[in-house]
A = this chain, B = another copy of it.
Amino acid sequence: MNDVKRVYRFGADAAGNDVTEGRSSMNYVLGGKGANLAEMCRIGLPVPGGFTITCQTCTDYTSAGDTWPEGALDEIADAVQDLEARMGKRLGDPTDPLLVSVRSGAPFSMPGMMDTVLNLGLTDASAQGLITQTAAEHFVWDSYRRFIQMFSNVVMGIDADLFENALTEKRLMAGVRTDSELSASTLHELVEEFKQIFCSHVDPKAHPELVQEGRVVFPQDPKVQLKLAIEAVFGSWMNERASIYRKQHGISDSLGTAVNVQAMAYGNKGESSATGVAFTRNPATGERERYGDFLVNAQGEDVVAGIRNTEPIQDMATYPALAQAADDLERIFVILENHYHDMCDIEFTIEQGKLWMLQTRSGKRTARAALRIAIEMVEEGLIDRDTAVKRIDPSQLDQLLHPQLDTTASFEVLARGLNASPGAAVGEIVFSSDDAVKRSNEGHPVILVRWETNPDDLKGMVAAEGILTSHGGKTSHAAVIARGMGTPCVCGVEAFHIDAKAKEVRIDGSDVVLHEGDLISIDGGEGIVVLGAMPLTRADLTGDLETVLGWADEIRLQEDGSHPYHVRVNADNPDDAALALDFGAEAIGLCRTEHMFLGERKNIIQTYILSDEVQERSRALEELLRVQTSDFVEMFRTMDRRDVVVRLIDPPLHEFLDDPRELAVALARREAEGAPQDELSLLRARLRRIDAMAESNPMLGLRGVRLSFAFPDLPLMQVRAIATAAATLIRDEGLSPRPEIMVPLVSVASEHIQMRSIAERVIQEVESAFGVALDIPIGTMLELPRACLTADEIAPLADFFCFGTNDLTQTTFGFSRDDAEAKFIPAYLHQKLLTANPFETIDSAVLEFVRMAVSKARTAHPGMTFGVCGEHGGDPASISQLFNIAGVDYVSCSPYRVPVARLAAAHAKLANR
């Protein structure tokens, strides 16, 4: 361990020479705060001296069960001694004490950890020394009481209210409004009271080092204070809030946090002192203006605590005692942007007119601001287009593409659920798909409220402005379809007890009972439900977004060593296709044909499936051929000259039939009611047929390519419809349709080969009938482990592979998505058995299957194309891995995710350079 450097100095030595050892690139060593403090020192900005204890030290300490690694404490003691020498003061010196701040700073900005202890080093003796030195008794007692308060709360975990109550009492007794108006002697009294509170709330068994003569005392040795503070920072890395935050943001537990120990600068030394936070540009709009707040005569925590009203940073120059500092700050803003080439977020303190920088980092910003800042910085020559594109977080873009609740209006949240599909919507509650269609046709916007949705609800979902379910997770039917349609959706609103028959909702913890027609507002980006009609703000694709996406397209489509990264869309109808073209989709990567069987056409497919009469069946099939052909004609016309990958029918056929349980219940009821035998016989016969189609695990049953061997007419009808539609457009309209046929759920190569040979025969028949040549590639949908493992066997007779990573995730994990997301994935995430929901972000093993299959297939069949059309195709984290690790040529996602995917693909391409 002795060869590990655990402490890095920053700031100047006694002679004013910079002795900084770190730099901004040492993020993982020093944390973000420590690395940027070092960097500011290097570029000559005024930073109080100090040192940073490395993240590794935290990891070593916590992983050894809160035990200090060998030598670390010595190294810290040396650094303290060095700092004392540099500052010309000593910790605890009863004549001129050094005081320090102790702040945590992880490699990623992370709320939830112990943050800051100021004024460390104050003791009864050093407080007196400081009074002697500064003659500022008020300031010293104020600093000491703040220190005791912070140390007690953040280091020892004592309830902050105990101190606030004592403070309030003193203010009331003194008849003053603010703490700064309290007298020095009152503050001195408070110091004693605070120490009492400390002593009576610390467990002597947990802290034997604080026990003197049998009772706890407030530590009077600054070295003890410092050690406890550092240990508290380390300990806070593993606390629950921090852990949850890391889990949510995919940050590894093993990174650890650094600790920054820095000489204090005082913003509370009177009217020429101040403290503040600021951004170099407006983080909400991106405008090129300074943005921030400051407080005169205050310490850092006062700004954040909101006890006193802050003033806008622009007003600082109006205070004569702060004018010079304001000038310096403006100069530093410029230096920072020129150095970091980014919008920066800073913390500063002005001590008696002298500006000190306490922190800088890249500023958080809204999507809108991010776009504007990136574009303007390109114009200013600060950054290039690649950097501009990299600066925009793809997952933020959703914000821009959907309407939002207008948060300037005041409102109360009625219930919360999962943010299943972004955007806000207002409408009247309806409880069934039919009612949704009816009311919406009458001109009322509606919100479809269901226990859960199923394919029968599609009509209603299309008619609704928004969807709310009380059950189901983020990949439930409602969520998936809603995201696909770009309809706002809140899922899993468990507080809603829906009685669809009575058409009412009772809500846990609320007296409100909702009835059909009542207005509610939902925000699917936030997962909230509000009673009544909230005003909405609609954000269009702004010019800025178009500009940046244009740059992103240039990057991702470059042939720079790696192939272009293409983005396609999952679209099942011409409207979605047209929308997706607007959003920049290059082609249709997945056209699901089963949705074309719903609505009024359900009767036809039911007849086909259930009828015993050959003639009736073949009439139904003819009718399906007619309607599907016309669907494809429209689709291919919209997508002229662009690939349209049509997947042959995939779901188990019983999805198109009545629910057998409902039918059984209806039958039982009619039996008990003594219905005529004729009616009962018919019901029984129908139930028998539907029961014959039932399966134990439909996800793994008779579906996909397997249907081709049980109901061979059906996929062949579809192939005929595709070929006929293409041939019609070529012959009659001179267009260039580019359909491709995808065979779903292949597990053995023979399935694909047989389906292909049958399909090719049908295509040839259509070619002869129309007298046109058709070029319709036939590919395989890879969505089962076996298909991936044997991709080299399937590849030679496939023109392309498209990975259905939703189903592949299901079979790789043995997770049924519907069941897993409802029953155990939330618990798995909570207990950290999984770091991410594998249905949202692609799992490493699933990715490995894709990578393996691509690699095997490329060898077996050079020149093949590979795509992904699972939901991962719209998830930025997955997109990067799919392109850069698995090596696919395109991702395909729902229309509203296309801009996100374009940007994420550009990011992936840049990361791959």
Contacts and interface: CB of A to CB of B under 8 A. Distances in A.
Contact of A820 (B701, B812, B820): B701
Q: Please state the number of chain copies in the assembly.
A: 2
A159 to B, nearest CB: 31
Interface string A821-839: 0011001100111100000
A789 interface: yes
A751 to B, nearest CB: 6
Given A664-B661, A664-B664, A814 B815 contact: no
A697 B819 contact: yes
Contacts of A828: 709
Secondary structure at the A interface, as helix, strand, loop or mixed, is helix
Interface hub of A697, A810, A815 (most chain B Cβ within 10 A): A697
B786 A843 contact: yes
A786 B807 contact: no
Interface residues of A, number: 59
A820 B807 CA distance: 17
A297 interface: no
A760 interface: no
A818 interface: yes
A491 interface: no
Contact of A849 (B706, B710, B789): B789
Interface in A768-822: 783-786, 789-790, 807, 810-816, 818-820
Nearest to A707: B824
Contact of A813 (B747, B813, B846): B747
A748 interface: yes
Contacts of A816: 695-701
Contacts of A666: 668
A745 interface: yes
A814 B786 contact: yes
Given A669-B671, A706-B824, A784-B814, 15 more contacts: A665-B667, A668-B669, A669-B672, A696-B698, A697-B699, A700-B814, A701-B819, A709-B828, A710-B823, A747-B813, A747-B814, A748-B813, A785-B812, A785-B845, A786-B814
Interface of A: 660-661, 664-669, 671-673, 695-702, 706, 709-710, 745, 747-748, 750-751, 754, 783-786, 789-790, 807, 810-816, 818-820, 823-824, 827-828, 831-834, 843-846, 848-849
9 closest A-B pairs (Cβ-Cβ)? A672-B672, A697-B816, A700-B816, A701-B819, A785-B785, A784-B814, A665-B668, A697-B697, A750-B833
30 contacts: A661-B664, A664-B664, A665-B665, A666-B668, A668-B668, A669-B669, A672-B672, A695-B818, A697-B700, A697-B819, A698-B819, A699-B700, A699-B816, A700-B820, A701-B820, A702-B819, A706-B823, A709-B828, A709-B833, A710-B823, A747-B815, A748-B813, A750-B832, A750-B834, A754-B833, A785-B812, A786-B814, A790-B844, A807-B814, A811-B811
